[in-house]
Structure 1
Amino acid sequence: MNIAKILLVDDEVNFLSIMEKRLSARDMGVVTADSGKAALDVLEKDPEIDVVVLDVKMPGMDGLDVLRAIRSGHPLVEVIMLTGHGTIETAIDGMKNGAFDYLLKPCEIETLMDLVRQAKDKKDIHEEKIIQAQMKDITGRMGV
């Protein structure tokens, strides 16, 4: 059973391939996208995505643009920003726009795994709260 379903987004195809293999070997369900637009398309088609690991520097839509779109259209999906071109300002922007956390490339796979688990736990807690609120609403309307 997969620990989490991850969408890896990076314009570096070799990096995507290596990370997909490394994360899959650790019982993660992994889907990849090589651009921001492709990532948003995957999210529209796959409601099972728990966590997006998102490169900041990409041509076209950069990571911050993609992050804003994810927060708008898929608010429960957690996003971990990943970049080889990290700056404090970019990290702050990512966190202000709702990123779960931020890592610099290359990162230790175990560090990434820990963050993915934490992000998945946060998503699960939010989903459970929503279900509880919906149940309370339904039972309230039924007079139970």
Structure 2
Amino acid sequence: MSENIIKRKVLIAEDDINSFRLLKAVLKDYDCELIHVDDGQKAVDACKNDNTIRLVLMDIKMHGMDGVTATKMIKQINPDIIVVAQTAYATNDDIEMYRDVFDAYLTKPLNLVELKRVLNQLCKK
């Protein structure tokens, strides 16, 4: 178990159930509470209504509000929240364009070693 995200509340904004299940499986090794939403507006609402969320794993392409728009709104609500983009639609131009929006950027299919590295790096106590 990692000591880095112990007792953290993690929001997973993901509309693909298989991607959500993968993230959930990885995070079972961490002592954190998971919340799942399937669109950007629900992610914004969750962060607005629960100021104990410390980490958001944000899909960029979702039905309804996209992850970029949602992240910008979430950062206005709580500038200290950590938001990690995870998307299958990642070019070097995309990564550069969103560098100031997200705290980290992961591409799908997710590399589990990279995901854990990012979680451990960004979520230190």
Scaled by the length of structure 2, what TM-score is found? 0.84
* Partner residue, 2:80: 76
* Partner residue, 1:39: 43
- Name the % identity: 26
Q: Say yes or no: does 1:22 pair with 2:26.
A: yes
Q: Assess if the C-alpha contact under 8 Å between 1:81 and 1:103 holds in 2.
A: yes
Q: Assess if the C-alpha contact under 8 Å between 1:83 and 1:104 holds in 2.
A: yes
Secondary structure, counterpart of 1:70 in structure 2 = helix
Higher strand share: 2
* Partner residue, 1:130: none
Distance 2:117 2:53 in 1: 17
Q: Assess if the C-alpha contact under 8 Å between 1:24 and 1:30 holds in 2.
A: no
Extract unaligned runs of 5+ from structure 2.
none
Aligned CA RMSD, in angstroms, stands at 1.9
Higher helix share: 1
Instruction: Note the C-alpha offset of 1:115.
Output: 1.1
Higher-Rg structure is 1
4+ runs of 1 displaced by more than 6 Å?
A: none
Extract unaligned runs of 5+ from structure 1.
125-144
1:61 to 62, 65, 68: 65
**Which structure is richer in relative contact order (CA contacts within 8 A, separation 6 or more)?**
2
Count of paired positions: 121
